[in-house]
Amino acid sequence: MRLVALALIAVLAGGCEDEQDTPGGGGIGGAAAEKAARKAECRKLEEHIVRITPRPGGGGPETDPARIQQLVAKVPIEDIEQCAALQEHKDIECMQAAGDVAALRACIPAKKK
């Protein structure tokens, strides 16, 4: 039974390989790499937000690197995907440059009606 399961996994994994990038770009692999890079950038943004946001109860921003990583790990994947889907990269750059929460909020685009 275990051998059958391993064989099935091998067949399914072989059928799920991403297409490779072509020299002209535009392949599925290129889109996946770009999406992964955008998600990594968004995780860095989340880390930056934790570093500049005051702790609940009136404390200053979190400074413990281990605690920062714990908090970033708790960010829902939907938030990361929403960030990665932003069309305007300048919004993310603005947020990364923000030194405090007020500057961060000024970077958030207004909702379209």
Assess if residue 104 is contained within a domain: yes
Domain count, the chain: 1
Residue 77 lies in a domain: yes
Q: What is the mean pLDDT of each run of 10 residues along the chain (113 residues)?
A: 35 38 52 91 95 87 92 94 87 93 89 69
62 found inside a domain: yes
pTM beyond 0.75: no
The answer to whether the beta carbons of residues 81 and 39 sit under 8 Å apart is yes
- Examine residue 22 and state whether it is found in any structural domain, yes or no: no
Predicted local confidence at residue 74, as pLDDT: 95
Is residue 6 in a domain? no
Domain-located, residue 20: no
Does any domain span residue 41?
yes
| CB of 44 closer than 8 Å to CB of 96 | yes
> Domain limits at 58?
30-113
Helices (H), 1-113: 2-15, 28-52, 65-73, 77-84, 89-97, 101-107
Query: 61: which strand partners?
Result: 54
